[in-house]
Each structure stands twice: as C-alpha cells, then as structure tokens.
Structure 1
C-alpha cells in the first residue's frame, strides 16, 4: 500500500506550476512510501487512477493564495479549500475533487504554497522553487507535515 502525492497546477502560469514542479522532483528522486500523480491543471481527470491505487492518504499540493509572503507553505483545512485560498486555474473547484476522493480515501491533506507570480508564461519564482524543494526534502526524508501551520 502506498500514499499518494497528488500535485495540481498549470506550468504555463508561473508559480501555479509549484505542484507540477514537485511531481518532477519526485519523479527524479522518489519519496519512500509515496506515489506521485501529477494532476496538472485538470486534476479531475486523474481521480480514477488515484482510486485504483487505493491509498490510505492523499496529499494534494497546489499553489494557494493565502495572503502570506511568497513561498509560505501551509496545510489548508478542507472547508477553506472552497473559499478564498485557491488560485483558480482549474476546471472544477478543488473542494469537489476532495469530496469525490473522500468517498474512498480515509485521509486527505491539502498543502498550499503561496505564489508570488502567476502570470502566463512566467517561470516558477526562485522563492517558490525553494519552498517546493523543501516539501520534496520532507517527503524524501519521511518527515511529517505537522511542521506546517494550518490555515482555515
């Protein structure tokens, strides 16, 4: 059995590419006990694959506007995912996706990374890249996410 890191984001929108960047890092250096699924900007197209893996835990990672300094990382409460925290580049609201996954997945965590620039064709900023690398390091070392404050 494995846990799933489910990344979300649009690589054409600067820091909204934080999730896909994490997926790339995990492909290059996997985290023990975790399978990565890159949902890109259409995460709803990947829920069937996640269900087929039958994970006990899914960690969703996406850019989230939490009105914090760029690069800040926080766990976000499920009720807040539907509200003000989301960078809205996805076809459906992520709370619908979470509700759908919750039917078969016992634990779902949402990790938001505060973007700095989500302009079209901008690269991921160095600040957000460092934050993504830190999340990757925690996963590879098998460390938990209790270090991150929860918002919402």
Structure 2
C-alpha cells in the first residue's frame, strides 16, 4: 500500500499553481513512500488513478485562503475545506472530491498553501514558490505532513 500526494490547481492562475508546482518538484526529486498525481484544474478526472493505487493515505494539496502570510502551509480539517478556505477555481467543489475518495481511501488529509494572488496569466509569487519548496523539502526529508500546524473553524 502506498501514500498519494494529490495536487490540485491551475498553473495559469499565479499562486493557484502551488499544487502543480509541488507535483513538478516531486517528479524531479521524489519523496520516499509517496506517489504523486497532479490533478490540475480538473482533479475529478484523476480520481480513477488514485483508486487504482489503493492508497492508505491521500494528501490533497491546493491553494487555500486562510488569512495567513503568503506561502504558509496548514493542515485543514476536511469539514472546513469547502465552507471556508478554498479558492474556487475548480470544476467541482473539493468536498465532493473528498467524499468520492473517502469511499476507497481510509485517510484523507488536506494541506492548504496560502496564496498572495490568483490572477490569470500571472506568475507564481516568490512567497508561494518558497512555501511550496519548503513543503517539498519536508516530504523528501521524511518529516511528514503532521509537522504542519492544523487549522479548523
């Protein structure tokens, strides 16, 4: 059984590309014990790939407006994901995606990355780029996602 990092976001919308940027970093420098799947702007089109892996744990990574400094990373309680924190650039709300995955995945964790700006055809900001790089390093070093503080309602 494996673990999956499932990234979400649109890399044509500045900091909303945080998830796909993490996927690219993990493709170039993988984290032991983790499979990466980039769901992009239409993550619902990739859930079959996750189900085929039968993972024990899925970590969904996406930009989330948490009122923090840009680039900050937090674990977000899944009950709060759709209600409070997500930037709605996706075809379906992520809580529907989580509910769908929950049918076959025992543990789902959501990591939010605080964006500075979500602007079409703008580059990712340096703060978010550094935050994603730090998240990548945490995964590669085996520290684990539980080292990130949690945020709830």
Query: 2:121 is matched with which residue?
Result: 121
Q: Distance in 2 between matches of 1:125 and 1:107?
A: 31
Matched, 1:82 2:79: no
Q: Distance in 2 between matches of 1:91 and 1:141?
A: 33
1:91-136 Cα deviation digits (max 9, x unpaired): 0000000011011101100000000011111111110001100110
Structure 2 unaligned regions, length at least 5:
none
Query: 1:140 is matched with which residue?
Result: 140
Matched, 1:20 2:20: yes
Query: 1:37 is matched with which residue?
Result: 37
Q: Distance in 2 between matches of 1:108 and 1:29?
A: 23
Q: Distance in 1 between matches of 2:11 and 2:17?
A: 4
**Structure 1 SS opposite 2:145:** coil
- Given the two structures, how large is their TM-score scaled by the length of structure 2? 0.97
Residue 148 of structure 1 and its aligned partner are, at CA, apart by 1.5
- Given the two structures, how large is their TM-score scaled by the length of structure 1? 0.98
Q: Distance in 1 between matches of 2:87 and 2:12?
A: 13
| Displaced runs of 4 or more, over 6 A | none
Matching of residues 54-133 of structure 1 within 5 Å:
54-133=54-133
Structure 1 unaligned regions, length at least 5:
none
**Structure 1 SS opposite 2:127:** helix
Q: Distance in 2 between matches of 1:106 and 1:134?
A: 27
Q: Distance in 2 between matches of 1:147 and 1:43?
A: 25
**Structure 1 SS opposite 2:147:** coil
